Amino acid sequence: MVAVSRTTEQQLLLGEWACLGILYPAPTHGFAIAARLKPAGDVGRVWSMSRALTYRALDQLTVRGYIHTVGEEPGIAGGNRTIRAGTRSGRAQLRKWLHTPVVHLRDLRSELLLKLVIADICDIDVTSMLVGQRAHVVELAEALSMQIDADGPVDVVALWRVESSQAALRFLDRLQSARSRN
């Protein structure tokens, strides 16, 4: 296995974005973040991670200068828990990420849903991102539809992508309708 290093300018992994988003509203400790990232957690329903991967993500965010230690508190089972918070740079990067539409149709399930959950946790309005996301999906859907040859053999991958794009558009429309009622 080859270790891959990332530069500070490279994109964060989704788990790192999730940790940064959980820290955005208020400082907390890794154990509490890991609890929210369990499969039954509010964020874990979309993107779950083990406790070990959560702490690795927190270490990466610290190295990048996106979070920092702000204190300690006693742990329940002994030892101290390190309290971490987002830095100004980390908070700015999170807002930028939340306002950027997802590029690939295949990533809507994971990345877009994570962005929506994190935006709600952080109380960040992502309406403009959703408008851009819908426009991008419309472009993808039109391009994909042109790949389907009604008279030719069925290309199951192209058909899947067309149907996925249509489902994504229905989701975005329904989400926008629900948000406009609230």
pLDDT over 70, % of the chain? 93
Across the range 108-135, mean pLDDT stands at 97
**Lowest-confidence segment of 78-87, 119-128, 147-156 by average pLDDT:** 147-156
Residues 144, 95: one domain? no
Sign of the C-alpha dihedral, residues 35, 38, 43, 49?
positive
Q: How far apart are CA 72 and CA 16, in angstroms?
A: 21
Asked, for residue 160, whether it belongs to a domain, the answer is yes
Is residue 20 over pLDDT 80? Answer: yes
- Of residues 39 and 156, the one with the higher pLDDT is 39
Residues 134, 63: one domain? no
Q: What share of the chain is helix, strand, coil (3-state, %, to 5)?
A: 55, 10, 35
Whole-structure pTM value: 0.89
CATH code of the domain containing 15: 1.10.10.10
What is the domain count for the chain?
A: 2
Residue 45 sits at φ, ψ, to 5 deg, of -60, -30
Give the pLDDT band of residue 8 (cuts 50, 70, 90).
very low
Across the range 12-38, mean pLDDT stands at 97
Is residue 129 over pLDDT 50? Answer: yes
Which structural domain range is residue 83 located in? 9-100
**CB-based contacts of 146: which residues, under 8 Å, 6+ apart?**
none
